[in-house]
Amino acid sequence: MTHPTSRSIPRGAALLNDPAANKGTAFSAEERRALDLEGLLPPQIETLERQAERVFRHLDAKPNDLERYIYLSGLGDRNETLFYKVIMSDPARFVPIVYAPTLGAVCKAFSHLYRRPRGMYISLEHKGRIASVLRNWPERNVRFICVTTGGRILGLGDIGANGMGIPIGKLQLYTACGAVPPHTTLPIQLDIGTTNAALRADPLYLGLRREPPEQEELDAFVEEFVEAVQEVFPPCCIHFEDWKGTDAIRYLAQYRDRVLCYNDDIQGTAAVTLAGLTTALQIIDAPLSEQKIVFFGAGSSGLGIADLLVRAMQREGLSESDARARITMMDKDGLLVASRTDLSEQQRPYARDEAPATDLLDVIERVRPSILIGVSTAGGTFTQAVVERMSAINTRPIIFALSIPHAECTAEQAYTWSGGQALYAAGIQYPVVQMGERTFHPGQANNFYIFPGLGLATYATCPRHITDDIIIEAAHALADQVDLATRARGRLFPPQDQIVEVEITSACRLAEYIFDHDMAHVERPDDIRKWIEGMIYTPAYKPIALD
């Protein structure tokens, strides 16, 4: 799937099978003659808009979003420009199809739905020669690699090579929402095996049929991969996605100061959560540094959010210890307390010197928090009693039920049980809720509000590293785009139908921050907005130079 600007255009049937160069029925009469396409296409010459109309009709006839995903996936394999024309025409409609929540069902059945690679599979069998394997990718100007082991996918657990759907979908949103040129992105599945015995026994499973290696072997494999990326694609940013929690935290800590990389589950989730909290706190006119926050869930996502909130509170004047004291965390075994012996190194700073507790309602009674954040992957755990107690403690309780695909409580439950007072967001988009004459617009605290804009800024400025301060700036750039009228309606994030403009605006602000702090590898332009707009991707057929 090499971009047509980086090599000669193929001809005839090969051209129609090249998604980056194919125009389908939009090839002109001159192009058809010159490129040996005559007779291979029906005679009618169509515009991109007319082709998109046909796609919309196909999609309308599909019975569900999984079938729409499969159809769009095939379209992307045939005609990349038409695919992005459709997706970018209505992001609010199509992002939930090519990304969450539909992507969960796609990943569960990925090996059964497989059509073509659409990325690279680097397995343990490639140890010692990963760099040479990476060179098999036909595009040289790779600027973003989204890489997963499939170890922790959307609350589905370890699904091994079936996790490849996530890097594909994430990178599609780099383009569909952030206008990053698609030929610069590369999805990669690091196949290290899987703990999922049912998958290993599935005759159609496409991954290695083995258990993952011990940590020492895995560390050496990841190290070789990271070094190979630096050698083969030196300006590339590595986007770690959906790794097992302990691995995710460890590798981010190991590589964030060595190479250009970030972990979206940890940092992207933290940024979009901070953005939503910033907007919610603007609605109630209260600073973050004065809030008490309870986390239900203390894995990599929860810890990533907590760490970023600590950093943000420090910027408001708190010490690190005082900031951590405002955060209370629970995992499946209860409150993180100092007496527990099963806490990870990353959890221990949040352990409280208190008596153990296993019931969320008891913890809320003890802490009396203003903010409740769910990152537990356990749907339905914010019960009516929990929401009612949060509402009794706070005039406007802030409740973020972020687990995907099953939130800790639905939007309707949060608004109903709080008497319409909750400031609510979820990881998925819930429909508008009507309560009498009042209309509520639940927010979607989803990372697609963050990583496409961060990606576009990174693409433009080539920073040395992605720091926590850049992540915080990304959160504030997003929150600042929620206007007063939108806040008055209780919305915590900008409308999804404006997502491309939102991401470009965030990218411009991030680029300015990166230049201001001397982190860019390119010269600062006079007009950052104009400069970035000059490099973004637009889905349009380009004329082909004919001999």
**N- to C-terminal Cα separation, the chain:** 23
Q: How far apart are CA 312 and CA 476, in angstroms?
A: 10
> What gap in Å lies between CA 92 and CA 100, rounded to an integer?
12
Tell me the β-bridge partners of 347: none
* CB within 8 Å of 64: residues ≥ 6 apart: none
- Quick check: is 170 catalytic? yes
Catalytic, 62? Answer no
Mapping DSSP to helix (H, G, I), strand (E, B) and coil, where does residue 483 land?
coil
> Which secondary structure element, helix H or strand E, spans residue 293, and what is its range?
strand 293-296
Among 23, 85, 170, 244, which one carries the catalytic annotation? 170
- Judged on CB neighbours under 10 Å (0-12, 13-18, 19+), 203 is exposed
- Cis previous bond, 96, omega within 30: no
Per the residue annotation, which of 69, 84, 85, 99 is the catalytic one? 99
Beta strands in 155-243 (DSSP E): 185-191, 237-240
378 phi, psi to nearest 5 deg: -110, 105
Give the separation between CA 266 and CA 283, rounded to whole angstroms: 26
Closest C-alpha to 363, from 392, 383, 331, 335? 335
Q: How far is CA 486 from CA 236, 276, 429, 440, 479, in A?
A: 37, 13, 17, 11, 11
Cite the active site residues.
99, 170
